[in-house]
Chain A
Amino acid sequence: MKQKSIKRFLVILVLFFVASWISLPESLPVKFDIGGWSVDTDLGTSGIHFTFLGRTIDKKFEFKQGLDIQGGMQVVLEADMSGIQEEDKAQALESAREVILRRVDLYGIAEPVVQASDDYGQYRLMVELAGVSNPAQALALIGQTAQLDFKLLIPPEVDEQELATDSAGLETSMELVDTGLSGAQLKRAQPALNPQTNEPEVSLQFNEEGARLFGEITTDNENQMLGIFLDQSLLMAPTIQQPILTGQAVITGQFTLEEVKQLSIQLNAGALPVPIKVLEQRTIGASLGNESVFLSVRAGAIGLALVMCFMILVYGFRGVLASFALLMYAMFTMAIYKILGVTLTLPGIAGLILSIGMAVDANILIFERMKEEMRAGKPFAAAMELGFGRAWDSIKDANVTTILTALVLINPFNFSFLNTSGLVRGFGITLLIGVLLGLITGVVITRTLIRLFVRERTK
């Protein structure tokens, strides 16, 4: 028994150090000077970086910050589907999503999130952009309807040599000729497989007017390049190989299946344009978030210290052990946030702080039970094990309700009748992780510590 406890304690200790190392911020300078003993070092963690069996592992442990912390904007858009036929609506929404993603990507926003949702005929797009300094510009970028144009690319008369070497300047060095053909005349684009070569290709289908126009263009400009532009930027420039009069065209090339799908989605953005309207907008300046984080983390630290004092005052040495378990709990929680990439929001931090308060509960239940068993005249060792065993039943039952509530808040299956707000989810997730970890630390860690360090007092 004793040896098993020692082993378990060592494992816990190692895990604790790993967890603390992971949860430390990237830079944490420590500098103090007490009675001639001076320390000046950086306790920060930059992540793991090493080569193991020829494989390089490079993982950075960072807190993923929510928009309310790092600042940014969140926009909920409604897609107006009135001009789109029923069977094309899902496709149109996906294309609208893709186009917005492409625009913000080009604009240089890191890790944009664009989600599409179809909620009983309400077609919505939710866009999250972190660290946007100019919301007006970003909104203008998102809000415009996609425009698809077909333009002929006429190479300059001379200097074919230069053209070959300077393919990046393709757009600029070529003369663009409007054809009058646009997304409005394109019915639909689809990924397809060439029946002969079995190679992926994009198939285009024009409407009546489009078929006539496309026929004229392809007849007059054989072997020329027909540039396809999305939002004024070149998507691709296939060469016209033969006149096409049926309004059914295919674009072939060395495409992978994935590329063909991507291209079809982008072309459809022009073929099935959906005007969008801003339903909700939230912008948070970075300074507000930083200040709030500082304040709540400080509040959490003070609270934690007070709780530890309280536990030590009430339960003496066992309180010290429980406080130690609590500290481990805090480190494990932060390490898990970093490893799982839990997005930290302000309510999420509140959830964490709350769950620290709740994590103590398991310890208190156990200690009180032990006291009772000892009062009933049981020897110490038996009282301890009984205390753990009996307390576990009520701890388990009581925590199930919190776990169920957290699940309703998180809404993991994206039920449309429940909340999907990021803030509420953030709180739910931290609460869930907190409760689960609290169960583990309360029962496993405190138990091991008590088995090892608490002796029967002869009193």
Chain B
Amino acid sequence: MNLLKYRYLYFAISLLFLIPGIFSLFKYGLKPSIDFVGGALIEIKLPENTNLTFAQVDELVDEEFGLSAVQKSGDSQFMIKSKEVSEEQKSDLTTQLTQQYGAAEVLRFESVGPSISKELLSKTIVAIALVSVIIAIYVWRQFKELKFGVTAVMAMFHDSLILLGSFSLLGHFYGVEVDVLFVTAMLTTLSFSVHDTIVVYDRIRELNRKHPRIQFEELANTAVLETLTRSINNSVTIIVMLLALVLLGGSTIKWFSTALLIGAVTGTYSSSFTAVPLLVEWTKRFK
């Protein structure tokens, strides 16, 4: 079976997923959480069967509070989003809510100032750049040829773009925000992606040593075939764990687990069907 013969099909599949995401990234961008832009979030629990609307909260707070959204986050649980607010402003609101509804328990209160959020943004960019560079250098050194390093990193960017694109779409349609944890998931995706790619590259190198006369494309094809079972079986276990977390893990880390899940799926796909085809193309073109 010659899997790599269909490499343009794989590129097409990748594009099918990449284009809507990239389009959405340009058109809608990402929805940053207060971690990156500053602001406040109050999550409260009211007595059962209570409903809270934007208008109801807006009546209780003044202009300075800068109320921006009220969302239902669970059974009679609500998230109130606003500009950066102080402890007093928050307790004023909860006191009023308690008076009106009987009880209001603050589950979570976060208020982030603008200077901190700006710093976090730059730290995030540095971390992603650093991980990419470290990985590229490691792969390059390990396989002693530039093409391995470059294609591994290209596959890595492919995965990151799909993840970013998915969250741009999720943000636009479901209001999912990008926070510090998303960045963590993104970095983990980077290492996931390369993890799988290295296993396949390792096999190509081994085969190359054993059969130095066989054409590169054929070698690569054999390597992909030989590692495919392992690749699929391994992803199944990781996907099972992450799927359990997404479906049953509770709201706090739901989107974090989702991000990891998307990363795990594209990471597995891209090693066999993006990194290796790219490697074959490279070898054919720059001989």
Beta-carbon contact of B127 and A408 below 8 Å: yes
User: Contact flags (1/0) for B223-251 with A, using CB distance below 8 Å?
Assistant: 00011011001101111111111011111
How long is the Cα–Cα vector from A282 to B108 in the complex, in angstroms?
7
Beta-carbon contact of A306 and B108 below 8 Å: no
Residues of A within 8 A of B130 (CB): 408, 418
User: Which residue on A lies nearest to B114, using beta carbons?
Assistant: A279
Which residues 125-144 of B have a CB within 8 angstroms of A? 126-127, 130-131, 134-135, 138-139, 142
Contact of B237 among A135, A139, A310, A402 (CB under 8 A): A310
How long is the Cα–Cα vector from A408 to B243 in the complex, in angstroms?
26
User: Does B83 interact with chain A (Cβ within 8 Å)?
Assistant: no
Which residues 325-356 of A have a CB within 8 angstroms of B? 346-347, 349-350, 353-354, 356
Output the least CB separation between B215 and chain A (Å). 22
With A347-B181, A417-B123 as known contacts, state yes or no: A405 contacts B190, CB within 8 Å.
yes
How long is the Cα–Cα vector from A366 to B126 in the complex, in angstroms?
36
User: Does B159 interact with chain A (Cβ within 8 Å)?
Assistant: no
6 closest residue pairs by CB, A with B: A295-B250, A303-B244, A357-B241, A405-B191, A357-B238, A299-B248
How long is the Cα–Cα vector from A292 to B260 in the complex, in angstroms?
18
Beta-carbon contact of A401 and B191 below 8 Å: yes
Beta-carbon contact of B237 and A347 below 8 Å: no
Beta-carbon contact of A283 and B127 below 8 Å: no
Beta-carbon contact of A405 and B188 below 8 Å: yes
With A350-B253, A357-B241, A405-B191 as known contacts, state yes or no: A287 contacts B184, CB within 8 Å.
no
Beta-carbon contact of B247 and A350 below 8 Å: no
User: Does B116 interact with chain A (Cβ within 8 Å)?
Assistant: yes
Beta-carbon contact of B198 and A401 below 8 Å: yes
User: Does A281 interact with chain B (Cβ within 8 Å)?
Assistant: yes
Beta-carbon contact of B245 and A353 below 8 Å: yes
- By the criterion of a CB under 8 Å from any partner CB, how many residues of chain B are at the interface? 73
Contact of A280 among B105, B113, B134 (CB under 8 A): B113
Q: Interface on A for B, CB 8 Å cutoff?
A: 68, 76, 78, 135-136, 139, 278-285, 287-288, 291-292, 294-296, 298-300, 302-304, 306-307, 310-311, 314, 346-347, 349-350, 353-354, 356-358, 360-361, 364-365, 368, 372, 390, 393-394, 397-402, 404-406, 408-409, 417-419, 421, 423-424, 427-428, 431
How long is the Cα–Cα vector from A431 to B183 in the complex, in angstroms?
15
With A295-B250, A296-B245, A302-B248 as known contacts, state yes or no: A278 contacts B233, CB within 8 Å.
no
Interface centre among B86, B113, B135, B142, by most chain A C-beta atoms within 10 angstroms, is B113
Contact of A431 among B188, B229, B251 (CB under 8 A): B188
Interface centre among B43, B112, B203, B245, by most chain A C-beta atoms within 10 angstroms, is B245
Residues of A within 8 A of B43 (CB): 288
Beta-carbon contact of B237 and A307 below 8 Å: yes
How long is the Cα–Cα vector from A417 to B13 in the complex, in angstroms?
37
User: Does B281 interact with chain A (Cβ within 8 Å)?
Assistant: no
Beta-carbon contact of B249 and A350 below 8 Å: yes
How long is the Cα–Cα vector from A306 to B236 in the complex, in angstroms?
10
Residues of B within 8 A of A365 (CB): 199, 230, 234
Beta-carbon contact of A76 and B116 below 8 Å: yes
User: Which residue on A lies nearest to B86, using beta carbons?
Assistant: A278
How long is the Cα–Cα vector from A350 to B192 in the complex, in angstroms?
15
Beta-carbon contact of B196 and A419 below 8 Å: no
Residues of B within 8 A of A399 (CB): 195
Interface centre among B45, B111, B131, B238, by most chain A C-beta atoms within 10 angstroms, is B238
User: Contact flags (1/0) for B177-217 with A, using CB distance below 8 Å?
Assistant: 00011011001101110111011001100100000000000
A-B contact pairs, 7 of them (CB 8 A): A139-B87, A279-B116, A299-B245, A357-B239, A402-B191, A409-B127, A418-B130
How long is the Cα–Cα vector from A390 to B203 in the complex, in angstroms?
10
